[in-house]
Amino acid sequence: MSARQFGDGNRAMGSGIRGVDRGEPARNRGRLLSRAGTHSHRTAPSVLPGHSRDSAPAIVRCHHASRIGASGRKSGPAWQHRQIGGCPGRRQSGPVRKRVVLVGAGHAHLHILKNAAALRCIGAEVVIIAQGDFWYSGMATGMLGGLSPPEADRVDIGELAINSGTKLHLGTMIGLDRATREVLLEDGRRIGFDLLSLNLGSAPPPLCGTGHSIYSVKPIRSLVELRNRIEEEWRGADPPVLRIAVVGGGVTGIEIAANLRALSDLHGREMEITIYSRSAPLKHLPRGVAAALMRHLRTMNIEIRWPAAVTLAEENGVFLNDGTREDCDIVVNATGLVPSRIAARLDLPFDADGALIVDRFLTSTGDVSIFAAGDCIAFDGRALPRAGVYAVRQAPILLANLGAELSGKPLIPFVPQKHYLAIVGLGHTSALMLRGRLWFKGPPALWLKRWIDQRFVDSYRLGRTSINSN
């Protein structure tokens, strides 16, 4: 069965859900697909050009064994993708021929950054433009709940760039000049490119209202600020009973609320937590899963109200669609995820949600030299759940296709998996994991989630050094 999408707050955002798929075989296999006018039907290279099989890591290894499809007809050579490594013992000679520019330090670009040596081996200069360090969404709610310190959730992009020989520009993209092949930054800089990859991320649609007491589930730095704000409030001699309004009754909102309760229990402080849901909460989940999560909320003394749409958020309260006003001290926006707003302002095709439309090769349908991955894309004409697992799975394909484009070789398609494991963290003692209609709730699920998340973050830290958590 296909994976359920978590939407209105039920879409799988990274901080609400950690998505992995350990049980499926390699799914990105099948016929090499060409793009009209760009690539012909031909056998893909087993190694990067200019290297022997002994000295160079493979982009793609071709197994010349045909598969038999459901129709009984042979589908062509099966392809298995391998992670590109470095170029041991070789140094690129001569001037740099092409510049590959990565915009955004998300899940997909972390992989390319770590393996940038593979692109430099074939004459590419690799540049990344990022607003700051990478904050891992899979650990974000646990960090909010006090399971780990904020620094455990962060990967130092500067350190990773230096280690991979990549040039880092700290800045914010505000536009794209396709005529001159330049990325426009907020401070006026223009960064030229030959190939461009966009990993722009997503965020909840903004709530109507302003104030220093409104926080969002993305960017993850907002949750760091929320935890700091709460703990600062509790340092006083007479700490207040904080009233928290979580807007959004999907998986993310439930996970945020559960970890806020875990934080208050950790500090021995009182907190009133109310979730406001526009429609029936968790309506896209199997009934048994939704019921288990609702029971968990009741045991944690968390109130959930629906139908209750928040129409305006202020410093000390929220207004609902029935005209009533509810007092609160802090508002958390967990209303689901939409692509970064810049994606729709780049003179590239985008869908109704503002997501960049890409083909099966992760290239823009409006410019074959521009690639994109993660939450900011509409893949092959359809939206994928905005879960980190898709960006992680797209990353090796994106890296391989950047190398193939540089080399004038055929690209390979990304094939999304039908099912993935989602793990919802529910505080310090429990989590719920779900794959299709199979689910389990209890401490082992939390242990598995923490192991997966820590392993992922450590893989991008020099020396794979863990930061101790609580």
Q: Can you give the three-state secondary structure of 167-185, one letter per residue? A: EEEECCEEEEECCCCEEEE
Q: What is the pLDDT of residue 463?
A: 56
Phi then psi for 147, rounded to 5 degrees?
A: -70, -30
Strands, DSSP E only, in 209-302? Answer: 214-216, 242-247, 271-276
Q: What is the pLDDT of residue 71?
A: 33
- Spatial neighbors of 295 by CB under 8 A, at least 6 apart, are none
Report the amino acid identity of residue 222.
Answer: S
What residue spans in the chain does CATH classification 3.50.50.60 cover?
97-203+340-418, 214-337+423-462
Q: What is the pLDDT of residue 467?
A: 55
d(CA 308, CA 317): 14
Q: What is the pLDDT of residue 398?
A: 98
d(CA 334, CA 87): 44
Residues in the chain predicted with pLDDT less than 70, given as ranges, are: 1-96, 463-470
Provide CATH code, domain 97-203+340-418: 3.50.50.60
Half-sphere exposure of residue 121, counting CA atoms within 13 Å on the CB side? 25
CA quadruple 323, 324, 327, 328: dihedral sign: negative
Domain 214-337+423-462 has CATH 3.50.50.60: yes
The secondary structure element, H or E, covering residue 158 is: helix 157-164
Q: What is the pLDDT of residue 15?
A: 36
- Spatial neighbors of 255 by CB under 8 A, at least 6 apart, are 15, 16, 17, 141, 424, 425, 426
Strand partners, 129: 103, 169
d(CA 264, CA 271): 6
